[in-house]
Amino acid sequence: MNLPTLKSERLYQKISNLLIERIRAGQFPCGQALPSERDLSKQLGVSRSSVREALIVLEISGWVEIRTGNGVFVNDVLPVEESPRQDDAGVEELLQAREIVEGEIAALAAQNASAEQLAELSQVMTSMQRETADNSEFHALDKRFHLLIGEMTGNSVLSDMAEYLWNKRYSPLFVEFEAIYAGRDISVDMANDHEKIVAAIVSRDAKSARKAMQSHLRHVYQSLFKPA
């Protein structure tokens, strides 16, 4: 007996595939706007965050164009492929994992960090505060900041996990999502969060370090998923 291969799909994947079906069926004609995030969320019975992730997938794969402040429009020329490749973790899913894991990493870092590591962390934070633009230098410092906290735990598995989670940010879905929806002042906001994290770790206050890191990642979430 031949059985079909079953696919495990994330919610944003199901939404994007459904919208592709409706575009191909002519329900959403080329050149016209899709319903708003709010309307799609209400009609489909899903969160606006999942709708936003699905729309990013459709833009990456050439089905729609997101015009910030004006809406999402079906492209005049549609892709040949039936459905886009969708193997990335969702943005919301990734940030949730980071909040849980990196919160505990920060707490352990506060207990185990060496004097040399604390000095480097403070230096990285100071350098980030000088970068007022959301540019490549800021992102390089941001990466060093988070990976250094992983190293501070003294646990190689947790350090590897911190790097694994960070590298997930380089997926096409996350990169495009951040490019469109991150606020212009995100580098300033994130630098302020980092200052609170450093203060807690330097003070050897594990509870405050955990709270500061979790708060920081919630701020990232709020920046990316604020209403359009």
Pairwise pLDDT comparison (199 vs 180), residue with the higher score? 199
pLDDT value, residue 82: 58
1 part of a folded domain = no
Mean pLDDT of 138-148: 92
Same domain, 115 and 68: no
pLDDT value, residue 164: 96
pLDDT value, residue 6: 44
Same domain, 108 and 215: yes
Same domain, 54 and 145: no
Same domain, 37 and 104: no
CA–CA distance, 193 with 191 (Å, rounded to integer): 5
Domain C-terminal end among 45, 74, 103 = 74
- Residues ≥6 apart with Cβ < 8 Å to 155: 108
Same domain, 62 and 172: no
Report which DSSP code applies to 33.
B
Burial call 47-69: b when 16+ CB within 10 Å, e when fewer:
ebbbbbbbbbbbbbbebbebeee
Residues in the chain: 228
Question: Average pLDDT over the chain, rounded to whole?
Answer: 89
Question: What is the identity of the amino acid at 151?
Answer: E
Same domain, 54 and 103: no
Question: What is the identity of the amino acid at 155?
Answer: N
Largest CA distance in the chain: 65
- Tell how strand 71-74 and strand 64-67 pair up: antiparallel
What φ, ψ does residue 178 adopt, rounded to 5°? Answer: -65, -40
223 — pLDDT class (breaks 50, 70, 90): confident
pLDDT value, residue 135: 74
| CATH number (domain holding residue 112) | 1.20.120.530
What φ, ψ does residue 74 adopt, rounded to 5°? Answer: -70, 135
- Structural domain boundaries, residue 17: 11-74
Q: Which of 37-41, 61-65, 220-224 has the lowest mean pLDDT?
A: 220-224
Domain count, the chain: 2
Q: Is there a contact between 196 and 180 (Cβ–Cβ < 8 Å)?
A: no
Q: How many CB atoms lie within 10 A of CB 158?
A: 20
| % of the chain exceeding 90 in pLDDT | 66
pLDDT digits (tens, 9 = 90+) for 3-20: 555 455 788 999 999 999
| CA distances (Å), origin 163, targets 56, 153, 160, 205 | 25, 13, 5, 23
| % of the chain exceeding 70 in pLDDT | 89
Mean pLDDT of 171-188: 80
pLDDT value, residue 226: 83
CA–CA distance, 182 with 142 (Å, rounded to integer): 15
Same domain, 56 and 103: no
pLDDT digits (tens, 9 = 90+) for 79-104: 876 555 556 788 999 999 999 999 99
Pairwise pLDDT comparison (168 vs 132), residue with the higher score? 168
- Residues ≥6 apart with Cβ < 8 Å to 128: 138, 141, 142, 145, 187, 190, 191, 194
